[in-house]
Structure 1
C-alpha cells in the first residue's frame, strides 16, 4: 500500500489526524499511542464537519491547559519512557528534532537551549505521536506529499505578529515544493510541516495508484473560499515497482576530502553502491556527479543522507529494472585465516568466483605478506569452487 497526502490547502497535526481516522485508522490505535506518551490525560474526540460544503472529520485533542515549556531533552524523555512501537517512537523523535532545529535557527540559539511552547504543549505531543502511530498502522511502503500550501498574510503568536509562512515553517520546508495556496491566513503549522517532511518519501503529484480509501481531515476554520482540509489517499501502486533506484546529483562546492565519509554514510544507510564521476560543469568548473544505487525501500534514508552530508539542494532519481545472479558465500583458508568468496551462478552454473578484498587485506596486514600474494593464493583456492 502507498499513500498520497494532498496538502494543497495546508496541513497541521490535527488535520493529519482527522485524515488518518477518516481513511480507516481506528481511533483506539491513535488514542493508545497518545496515552502512552502523554504525561497527563489527553482525550481524542472525533466530529463530522463540513468545510466549504465538503464532509470531513475534525479530530479534537482535549487536554488541560498547560504553561509547560519543554526542552528537546524533556520531549525525548517522554518518548523514551513511553510504551510505543519503536518505529513510532523513532518517527516522533525525528519530528521533534526537526522542530527543535528549526526553532534554534529562528532564534539564533543552540538546540539544547530551545524551549518549546506551542509545539511542546500536550496537544502537540498528542498530534505528533498520534500521526506517527496512524501511519505506522497503515504500513505504507511509500508516502508522497503534494505541494504544500503555507498561507499568506500575518498571524499572531507568543512572539507577536509574524509573517506567514511563520519562520519555523519556512525553514522546515526548505527543499520542499510549497506555495501560498488559497488561504489568506496560516495554512501550514510548524507541527504539520515537521510531520510532512519527516514522514514523506517524496513530494509531487498523486502517484499512479488504485485508491482504496480517502480521508479528509478538517482544520478549525471554515473560510468558505475553499475546503480547509488535508486529504489522504491510500491504495495500491499501479505499474511495476522499480527493482532499484539511482539517485544522482552534481556537486561543485564540497571539500573533496569529505567524499570518502559521504560514500561511507550512504552505504551505512543501505545503499547497494555509491560512486563519484569527475565532470566539468558550466563556466569550466570541475565537479563530481554523485551516484547512489539503492533499493526502493531504502530510498528515503539514502536521500536524507545525501542532503545531510553534501552541499546539494536537489537530486535526480530514476528507477531501473535489475537482473541479479544467484549468489552464495563460501570461505577458503589462506595461511590459517578465513577469506570469504562470493560465488555467482547463472541457471545453476558457476560463472563468477571472487574473494572479498577486505578479507584479503586483513590477512595481508596480519601476516605481513603483500596484498597481491594473498589475493593470488585466495583466487587459487577459490578456483576449486567452480567445480
Structure 2
C-alpha cells in the first residue's frame, strides 16, 4: 500500500524496478494498476515473484543480499534491522537468527527496497506521519492464531501514537518498520506547499472504510522545493528515536560509569546522567538513554536489570544527525582515528578518538592533553579543519 502510494505520488516505477533487480537478481517484477477502494481511486502495486516457492530467509541472509547491491540500499537495511530486532525481541532470539517467513520472501524484499527507492526518487528530505490504526481481533500466522496487533507490530509501535481503528489487521510489521524508519515524528500534517498526492490500495475492499494509504508530498512552507538538496537516504536512518528516562536516588554512584558503558555497547545512540533533587531534598540522577525505536525494549530491560529504578519513561524524539566518517592521522609512529562530521561538503566537527589518544599518552608517558593537541595538529595537516571543504579522497561516492 505504501509503495503504491509513493508511485502514485510520482516516484519512478523504472527506478524502483531497477533497484529491486539489483537486489533480487531479476527474480521479481513490480506492476501497478488503478483500482477503487471505498469508492475512491487508488493505485495498486503488485509484486510478482518470478521463481516458484521463494525461500524463508534469516536476517543475516537478507542483509547479505542488500549489501551485495551496494550503498544505495542503506535505508532498506535500516528497515530490516528494525524488523529483525522486533521479531528477535518477541521470539527470544538474536536478530541475526530471525527467520522472516513471508517478510523474507522476494516479494517483501521488493516492497521494502521499492519504498526506500521511491522515497528517494521523490527527493524527500524529511517524513512525518500521524497516529496509526493497528486493528483488532486476531489473525492466523505461521506461529498459529495471534491477537491483533501481532507482537512484532506492538514492539515496533513503541513510542508512537496508536489506536485500534477497526476490525482485522490494519498494520503489519513491514509497514510499521517502514514508517518508523522513514518518519521523524508522529505529528499533525506540517505546514507545506502541497505538490503531489499518492493513494495506495490494499488488497481487500471492506465496506465502510477505504482500504488505502495516502501520502502528501510538498515543500516546507516558505522553502521552495528546489532548495531541498538532502535525499531521504541522508536523513531517514537517524531521525526516528526514543528517549528513555529513569529517576534513581538510591544507587551507588560508582556503578554509573559501567552502566552507561554497557548501554552504549548494547546499541544506545547516547546515554548520560543529569543530577536532580527529588522530594524531601534527596539528591538523585535522571538516566537518559537515546536509542533507535527497535532497541527500546532491550535497553529498557537492561535499565531495570542494572539499576534500582522501578519505572522507565519513554517519549519519541526527532533526530537529525550530521553525516560522519573516520579518517586516520599519524601522531609520531601511531595512527589515530579521527571522527569527522560533515555537511554539504564542508567539515563541521573534528574529534580524535580519545581512547586511542589516551593509550598513546600512556605508551609515551606524556600528558593526554599534549597528545590530543598533536592529534588535532595532525588532523589539520591532513586538511581536516572546521569550515574547510571535506578532502576529495574522503567524499562519499555519488
Calculate the TM-score normalised by the size of structure 2.
Answer: 0.65
Long gaps (5+) in structure 2? 229-238, 304-311, 320-351, 373-398
Q: Establish whether residue 214 from structure 1 lines up as the match of residue 211 from structure 2.
A: no
Partner in structure 2 of residue 279 of structure 1: 276
Q: What aligned pairs does 1:109-258 form with structure 2 within 5 A after superposition? A: 109-181=93-165, 183-238=166-221, 250-252=245-247, 256-258=256-258
Please, which moves more after superposition, 282-291 or 198-207? 282-291
CA separation of 1:305 and 1:368: change in aligned 2, threshold 3 A = farther
Partner in structure 2 of residue 66 of structure 1: 53
Q: CA deviation at 1:370?
A: 6.1
Q: CA deviation at 1:32?
A: 0.8
Q: In structure 1, how many angstroms separate the alpha carbons of the residues matched to 2:299 and 2:124?
A: 27
Q: In structure 2, how many angstroms separate the alpha carbons of the residues matched to 1:44 and 1:155?
A: 27
Partner in structure 1 of residue 390 of structure 2: none
SS, match of residue 224 in structure 1 = coil
Q: Establish whether residue 78 from structure 1 lines up as the match of residue 69 from structure 2.
A: no
Long gaps (5+) in structure 1? 1-14, 293-301, 320-355, 376-387
CA separation of 1:134 and 1:285: change in aligned 2, threshold 3 A = farther
SS, match of residue 314 in structure 1 = strand
Q: In structure 2, how many angstroms separate the alpha carbons of the residues matched to 1:373 and 1:20?
A: 54
Is contact 1:34–1:126 with CA below 8 Å preserved after alignment?
yes
Q: In structure 2, how many angstroms separate the alpha carbons of the residues matched to 1:20 and 1:135?
A: 7
16, 33, 43: which one aligns with 1:30: 16
Q: Establish whether residue 91 from structure 1 lines up as the match of residue 75 from structure 2.
A: yes
Is contact 2:4–2:44 with CA below 8 Å preserved after alignment?
yes
Partner in structure 2 of residue 55 of structure 1: 41
Q: In structure 1, how many angstroms separate the alpha carbons of the residues matched to 2:257 and 2:156?
A: 29
Q: In structure 2, how many angstroms separate the alpha carbons of the residues matched to 1:113 and 1:103?
A: 10
Q: In structure 1, how many angstroms separate the alpha carbons of the residues matched to 2:146 and 2:370?
A: 69
Q: In structure 2, how many angstroms separate the alpha carbons of the residues matched to 1:135 and 1:92?
A: 11
Q: Provide, for residues 107-148 of structure 1, a one-character-per-residue CA deviation record: whole Å limited to 9, x for no partner.
A: 233334322211111111110111111112223221112111
Q: In structure 1, how many angstroms separate the alpha carbons of the residues matched to 2:65 and 2:369?
A: 55
SS, match of residue 288 in structure 1 = strand
Is contact 2:16–2:118 with CA below 8 Å preserved after alignment?
yes
Partner in structure 2 of residue 332 of structure 1: none
User: Of the two structures, which has the highest relative contact order with CA contacts closer than 8 Å and spacing of 6 or more?
Assistant: 1
Is contact 1:66–1:122 with CA below 8 Å preserved after alignment?
no
CA separation of 1:26 and 1:363: change in aligned 2, threshold 3 A = closer
CA separation of 1:37 and 1:367: change in aligned 2, threshold 3 A = closer
SS, match of residue 47 in structure 1 = strand
What RMSD over aligned residues (CA atoms) do the two structures have, in Å?
4.5
Please, which moves more after superposition, 32-41 or 51-60? 32-41
